Amino acid sequence: MRETRTGGRGRDFPHPKPVNKIELYAEHRRLRLILAVAFLVMGAFFIAYGVANLSLKKPGWSEIEVSSSEYNCSGDFVFLYCLGSGDISATAENKALTACYSDATEYAFQMFTKDVAYENVHNMYYINRHPNEELEVDDILYQAFSLIQESGNRSLYLAPVYEQYDGLFHCTEEYQAVEYDPYLNQNVADYYAAITGFANDTKMIDLELLGENRICLRVADEYLAFAMENEIENFIDFYWMKNAFIVDYMADTMRENGFVYGSISSCDGFVRNLDDVSDTEYAFHIFSRNDDAIYPAGVMQYDGAMSIVCLRNYPVNNSLEGQYYYSFQNGEIRTAYIDAADGYCKSAVNDLISYAQDSSCSEILLQVMPIYINDQFETGTLSRLTKDGIYSIYCQDNRILYNESSLVLTDLYDENEIQYTAVYMVDSLK
C-alpha cells in the first residue's frame, strides 16, 4: 500500500531520475563549434538557394515592373513581355528589361511633368516658367512639339483649361461641379472662352521650334498680364495626350535595346505592340456604351507590331474616374476630350478605336482627335485615313463598324437581348 504524505506537500509527486553529469573535454567543445559553424553555413546556403529560386523567372508571359523608388509614370502603364523568347535566359532578360523599363518610366515622367522641377532639366515645368526665353530641350520633347506643330492642333495651349477640368473630375458632389463646368456655369464658359481665345491666336502664344532642339515659348504681354491676374502658371500641357507620346518613347526604347516580344498599354487607351518577329496572335477588347451601361462588345484579333489608340467618353477602368471623367447622376459624363476651339468637352461618338502598323500612337492620335472631339461625326475623314494605313472601329446601335476588310472580330457580345454584330462599312465611311 502506497504511503500518503500530508502537510505542506499534500500530494504524492513523481520523482525525476538522477541526472548524470558528464564533463566536456576540450575536443568535445571544438567538435561542437565545428558542427555549429557547419550548420550555419548550411542554413545560409539554403536561404540563399531559396532567395535565388524566388528571383528565377520562368519562360513565358510576365508583367515587367519597375525597380525604382524615384518618381516615374509606371502607374499609368502595363508592360507585358514573353520572357525567354530571345537568346538569353528568362531571368537575365527580366533583369535587363526591368532596368531598361525603370529608366524609361523615370525619364518620361521627368520630361512631361508640369508639376515637378528637376535640377538642370528643361522639362514642361521649366518651360512654363520661362516664357520668351530660348531653351534647349531633350529630343523626346522636341519631337513631340514638332508632331503637334505639323498637325496644326492647338490643344497643347489649353493648360489653364485643363487645370479647371482637373477640379471638375475630382469633385465628390454634383453641386461642386458647377464651379468648373462650362455647360452649367456661364462665368466658367466665359473664362474658357478667354483662354481659348489666347490659345488659338499665334500672336498671343506660340511655341517656336528653332532647330537643334532649341525652342522658345512666345507669350504676349497681354496674355502674361491675364495669367498674373488669374494666377495661371502653366501655358502649355500635353494633359491626357501625354501617354500617347510616352508609350511611343518607351516602345521605341525597348525596340532599340532588342526587346520586341511584348506590348505596352496605358490605362487610358494607348497600346504599342512591339512584336514584329513572331506569329503570335494578339487581342484587343472592344467595349461599347449602350444607354448608361458598358458592354464588352467584341474582340479585335491581330498579329504583328501595332499601334492602337482608343478614345472613349466613358470610363472602363475605375482608376480613370476622378482623373479624366466625371459622371452625373442623370447619366451625363464630362471627359478630358476638350475642343481647343471653345474649351468644351466633346465626343462625336461614344468610342473610337484607330490602329496602324506603320504609325505611332501619337501620330494616329493627332489624326483622329479632330474627328472624335467634335459635335458631328465625319466618317468620310476616317475613310480617307485608310490610305495612310490607319483603320478604325466604332460601335453604334449594337453594331461594331469597321473599315479594314481583313479585320477579324470575335466574341461578339450576346446577352440579355443585346446582341452586337460586326459590319464592314467601307462604303458608308467614304
Domain boundary among 214, 237, 260: 237
Instruction: Write the burial class of residue 315 (CB in 10 Å: 0-12 exposed, 13-18 middle, 19+ buried).
Output: buried
Q: Is residue 175 part of a domain?
A: yes
Q: Is residue 7 part of a domain?
A: no
Query: What pLDDT score does 349 carry?
Result: 96
Question: pLDDT tens digits for 308-357?
Answer: 999 999 988 666 666 899 999 998 999 999 999 999 999 999 999 999 99
H/E element, 185: none
Q: Which of left, alpha, beta for 7 (phi over 0: left; psi -120 to 50: alpha)?
A: left
Q: Is residue 190 part of a domain?
A: yes
Rounded Cα gap, residues 354 and 140, in angstroms: 23
DSSP bridge pairs for 335: 325
215, 204, 39, 10: which is closest to 130 by C-alpha?
215
Q: Is residue 288 part of a domain?
A: yes
Same domain, 225 and 274: no
CATH code, 361: 3.10.520.10
Same domain, 259 and 291: yes
Rounded Cα gap, residues 386 and 426, in angstroms: 10
Q: Is residue 14 part of a domain?
A: no
**AA letter at 230:** N
Q: DSSP string spanning 339-354?
A: -TTTS-B--SSSEEEE
Task: Answer for the pair 5, 12: CB distance below 8 angstroms, yes or no.
Answer: yes
Same domain, 416 and 309: yes
Query: What pLDDT score does 57 carry?
Result: 81
**AA letter at 213:** N
Domain boundary among 216, 237, 258: 237
Q: How many domains does the chain have?
A: 2
| Residue 130 φ then ψ, to 5° | -135, 60
Query: What pLDDT score does 120 carry?
Result: 95
Same domain, 94 and 225: no
CA torsion 267-270-274-275 (nearest 10°) is 90
Question: pLDDT tens digits for 243-295?
Answer: 999 999 999 999 999 999 999 999 999 999 999 999 899 999 999 998 778 88
Same domain, 144 and 80: no
DSSP bridge pairs for 281: 303
Q: What is the distance in angstroms between the CA of the first residue and the CA of the last residue of the chain?
A: 114
Distances 193 to 141, 196, 218 between C-alpha atoms, Å: 28, 5, 20
Distances 112 to 72, 138, 145, 307, 338 between C-alpha atoms, Å: 11, 11, 12, 21, 19
Same domain, 221 and 256: no
Same domain, 194 and 163: yes
| Residue 222 φ then ψ, to 5° | -60, -45
- The x, y and z cell numbers of residue 248, run together, are 511611343
Q: Strand 399-402 and strand 421-424: pairing?
A: parallel
pTM: 0.86
Query: What pLDDT score does 290 carry?
Result: 84
Could you say which DSSP state residue 388 is in? G
Residues 6+ apart with CB under 8 A from 346: 337, 338, 339, 373, 374, 375
Q: Is residue 209 part of a domain?
A: yes
- Strands (E) in 24-172, as ranges, are 60-64, 77-83, 134-136
Same domain, 224 and 118: yes
Query: What pLDDT score does 12 carry?
Result: 44
- The residue segments making up the domain with residue 139 are 114-237
pLDDT along the chain (430 residues), means of 10: 40 47 52 61 56 67 92 96 91 96 98 97 98 98 98 98 96 95 97 98 98 98 98 97 98 97 96 94 94 90 97 81 87 95 96 98 98 94 94 94 96 86 70
